Structure 1
């Protein structure tokens, strides 16, 4: 079977989402359908265990913050680092609530017969692994620096004195890492799947644009042309349906992401304004975590912006086709496609803001504005 001159493409059921699904499985967020009853029970225990250790960390960090409430630097430092875990934890809860809907959508996409490039599969897998390794390296680096300085990487309650000796300090850092890192891996697994799905939509829209531009009406092959055009319209309608379902599933997920970036930026601006030069290590810690948060947020906004651009590109591709030589009925159908494409596919953060580069800029502006107001009040 010839795939319309796209032999370099591969079917989705070759595993476009397989890496993301496997990653989610390993972090306790995606039980495989082939599991037996006993395996599902054990997997549920594993899933709840990771929830539990994340909650335990948040409680320990909260108690540690309260114990050091008189030291504004420690309080802000704990809030900054705990915010990352809160962000991932709330997104995990939302993901679990919408998991069944998401699973149905993925099954529908995989059954569609759509095609994606092999390079896309590799790109998404490489991105997820790179972000995981980079974050692990940053966290490990600052934990090592804290160990060398004889302090905690984050002030958290421990059932023993963590700074009593080097062994106690190492043990406390290991406990914190054990509680935090699974949650971080969960966040990157979710991000990988979400980004893969947006990239899938963008790729299919680009494919539709190419098909529209290459559609050539010839009287001798009129039936073939009409059939191709009908398939293009059906696929466009299907992609619009996928986009609306994704927007419904990830609405709250993106809202948490958007709010977290705004608060993170505000906290870091406050920290930069009060941390002295002598506390350069602490300053670099804040900036490193901020950069990672901004990178993750930018990836979401960039892909959301790309989805808007490519969906609007359908109208331009339709106009650039050889429609002037088409029969009147096909021209009318093409006009309907153009009208539909002028309402771009989109993802939104809680229905408040579209996921786009403009929203990313607005989040940065909001964070700085909140900081400026707080700074004026304090001064």
Structure 2
């Protein structure tokens, strides 16, 4: 009997091995008396790890009913155990079907042959491994804190027992049982969640492998002189397309099975997590004195949020990868295929318009938007608990005392109004350094394409985009220099341009002059680097939609300088010319779509950090303007800084919005060409391009919100509900103003 479960995904292998050790993943071939003994062992494990806890904590909850702080102290782990019991029962009941799903995914991932495919599988394994390590570490810190934070005579967790737990040896035995059950149950909870999220990761990994197969359909099939595949090559292509369709169907079936087997437990987990996050936050504001307990509660809160995030992230990735199948099919060289094969490709693209989704009980889709909705709902419940609690006044006094410990709010905002800017700048610098090769290649390719334009109208398009980005750079630089020189020139000795703590007295010479020079130089260089990094991203986005505009221009001129015959159709020779032009347009369209994907991949997360931090920066800058007595020069520099921060967000959103708009114009441009004088084959090719253009190109901030002019006024996205950046910033500003008064 093998204890270690073999799987190409290490996280899934470890998770299933953990379940096997406690009786919930029987080895293959186990039957008869041995299987019965294993099932008895599983029932015993469930009773020791969860059954006793569930009974004791449920009774305790009824005993202390009405005391909100004590109820939340009992409930915050009771609900965790209830959700865990649901997942245990689900695995026990559906074990054979889940095993078949695991084996099917393992078989597909082990069968990859090419280096590119192996890299996709390896990257999937690395991602899930990192998530498992993070989840395990947070859980270990939390449980260790719970186990060691109990004071003498108290147990780590509140629970009712039918005997006196304060006397020996009952106290020691109960304490040992709680600690043992806490550690084992917590790690099993990690294992069960890892099983689900790893299976989701394998599912979207299979879709990535399918996308690779579709993009490389015609690899090693050189096109003949007529510009089409030969009959023998068509046979090879038919076999490859059929394999892709079977692969697609099996991946979709795996997603359907994931929905069938794990939807209800996930729904239970989400509902429980919503309550747990709420009551844990309530416990945090009620805790006092025990720092170990406070720290463990903090990590527990983070742990629960991370648990929900993993489900939502993997579900979101599955939906994203399923929608990318249509794009991958379009990126194949379909223009060299026969009409029958093109229809096959179109069939795949049509099916891919229906995105694969995993839902929680059929109520909400696993996505990043759902994650934000759960956090919002948890905060609403937390607010309700604070209002119900009779000790609300005490908690408010504690919060006020905490603020007074941190110090004067004006001083805090004075030190912090550029801190957030520097944090985001550091993230963007690290991102460019880590991805410099990919970014360099992207810049060179954009430069080459835009330098190759020859027609006057194409040159005019390139120049118009260049003028736009140049003027934006001028305005951005002018405002930034106003900020830098204003901050540097607005202080007198012994004050520095920026408040900061140094391990020496910075008010006396020559320390003051050296520190002043360092701060001024660092400000100028940081401003230049920040401008350069933002301009790099916005200019690449502008070049991307510039290429879309050039492509639209080429599509409208497909039949330029070609005459129709007496039948009001193009001649056979002219058809060949149009076919060559259309193929060039399709190749350019595919190249632009790949560049947009590269921009998303390389810059999405830094943009997300920029948008997230922007509301805080606008807040503290507005606070400085409202409350700090300052000279006119400093007032001017802060106004310029506030404008710069808003302009920075606007530039990202504006260019992202333009990219989306220009990508949708491709379909209209294809329609505006005289397609009615073309043959049926050419019309089908145009139709294929128009169908692909229905799915717009979007650059997102961390996959959470699209860059658009609407997003300029938003900082967070929920399901059908958006909060505006300016509105959020003003809300933070109002809070600070109230605290100051």
For the aligned pair, the TM-score class normalised by the smaller chain equals 0.7 to 0.9
Residue 91 of structure 1: CA displacement?
A: 1.8
State whether residues 20 and 189 of structure 1, in contact with CA within 8 Å, keep that contact through their aligned partners in structure 2. yes
1:64 to 42, 46, 60: 60
Matched, 1:48 2:51: no
Task: Answer whether contact 1:19 1:125 (CA < 8 A) is retained.
Answer: no
Larger deviation, residues 60-69 vs 184-193: 60-69
- Of 10, 24, 40, the match for 1:29: 24
Structure 1 range deviating more: 293-302 or 172-181: 172-181
In structure 1, what is the Cα distance between the partners aligned to 2:35 and 2:92? 16
1:286 and 1:13, CA in 2 relative to 1: closer, same or farther beyond 3 A? closer
Tell me the equivalent position of 2:720. Answer: none
Report whether the alignment pairs 1:243 with 2:285.
Answer: no
Cα distance change, pair 195–55 in 1 and its aligned pair in 2 (3 A): same
1:141 corresponds to which residue?
145
Q: Determine the C-alpha separation between the residues in 2 that align with 1:25 and 1:271.
A: 35
Listed as ranges, the matches of 1:294-313 within 5 Å are: 294-313=305-324
Offset, 1:369? 2.3
CA-atom RMSD, angstroms? 2.8
The answer to whether the Cα contact below 8 Å between 2:138 and 2:300 also exists between their aligned partners in 1 is no
Of 174-183 and 110-119, deviating more is 110-119
Partner secondary structure for residue 146 of structure 1 = coil
1:325 aligns with 2:336: yes
- 8 Å CA contact 2:258–2:358 kept in 1: the answer is yes
Shift of 1:229: 1.7
1:163 aligns with 2:137: no
Mark the structure with the bigger radius of gyration.
2
Task: Tell me, yes or no, if the aligned pair for 1:89 and 1:183 is still in contact at 8 Å.
Answer: no
1:255 equivalent among 267, 286, 293: 267
**Structure with more contact order per residue of length (Cα contacts < 8 Å, sep ≥ 6):** 1
Residue 583 of structure 2 aligns with which residue? none
Match of 1:195 in 2: 197
Tell me, yes or no, if the aligned pair for 1:85 and 1:184 is still in contact at 8 Å: no
Relative to structure 1, the CA distance from residue 277 to residue 105 in structure 2 (aligned partners, 3 Å threshold; closer, same or farther) is closer
- For structure 1, the residue ranges without an aligned partner over 5 or more in a row are 1-11
Aligned mate of 2:244, from 218, 232, 254: 232
Cα distance, 1:161–1:136 mapped onto 2, change above 3 Å? farther
Matched-pair contact (CA < 8 Å) for 1:88–1:184? no
- CA 1:39–1:176: 2 relative to 1, 3 Å: same
- Which consecutive unaligned segments of at least 5 residues does structure 2 have? 113-117, 224-228, 393-741
Distance 1:289 1:244 in 2: 32
Q: For 1:372 and 1:258, how far apart are their aligned partners in 2?
A: 19
Alpha-carbon shift at residue 247 of structure 1 (Å): 0.7
In the superposition, relative to structure 1, how do residues 279 and 22 fare at CA in structure 2: closer, same or farther (>3 Å)?
closer
Q: Distance in 2 between matches of 1:136 and 1:277?
A: 23
Q: Decide which moves more: 350-359 or 329-338.
A: 329-338
Report the CA distance shift for 1:151/1:19 in structure 2 as closer, same or farther (over 3 A).
closer
Supply the distance in 2 between the matched residues of 1:19 and 1:265 (Cα, whole angstroms).
Answer: 27
Q: C-alpha separation between the residues in 2 aligned to 1:100 and 1:36?
A: 13
* 1:75 is aligned to 2:85: no
Counterpart Cα distance in 2 of 1:70 and 1:163: 24
Aligned ranges 1:1-379 → 2 under 5 Å: 15-16=8-9, 17-53=12-48, 54-69=50-65, 71-112=67-108, 114-115=111-112, 117-118=121-122, 120-121=124-125, 124=128, 127-128=131-132, 131-147=135-151, 150-158=153-161, 160-164=163-167, 169-216=171-218, 218=223, 219-220=229-230, 221-273=233-285, 275=286, 277-278=288-289, 282-376=293-387
2:165/2:174 contact within 8 Å kept: yes
Q: TM-score, length-normalised on structure 1?
A: 0.86
How far did residue 120 of structure 1 move? 4.1
Query: 1:20 touches 1:125 (CA, 8 Å); kept in 2?
Result: no
Cα distance between partner residues in 2 of 1:13 and 1:91: 22
| Aligned residues of 1:21 and 1:193 also touching (Cα < 8 A) | yes
Structure 1 residues 205-249: Cα deviation after superposition (integer angstroms, max 9, x where no partner): 112222222223632422222221221122111111111111111
- Cα 1:62–1:24 change in 2 (3 A) is same
Q: Which moved more, 1:176-185 or 1:276-285?
A: 276-285
Q: Compared with structure 1, are the counterparts of its residues 13 and 281 closer, same or farther at alpha carbon in structure 2 (3 Å cutoff)?
A: closer
Q: Cα gap change, 1:46/1:130 in structure 2, threshold over 3 Å: closer, same or farther? A: farther
| Matched residue SS, 1:151 | coil
User: Structure 1 stretch 231-240 or stretch 134-143: which is displaced more?
Assistant: 134-143
Distance 2:311 2:197 in 1: 7
Name the structure 1 match of 2:508.
none
Note closer, same or farther for the CA distance 1:282–1:18 as it changes in structure 2 (3 Å cut).
closer
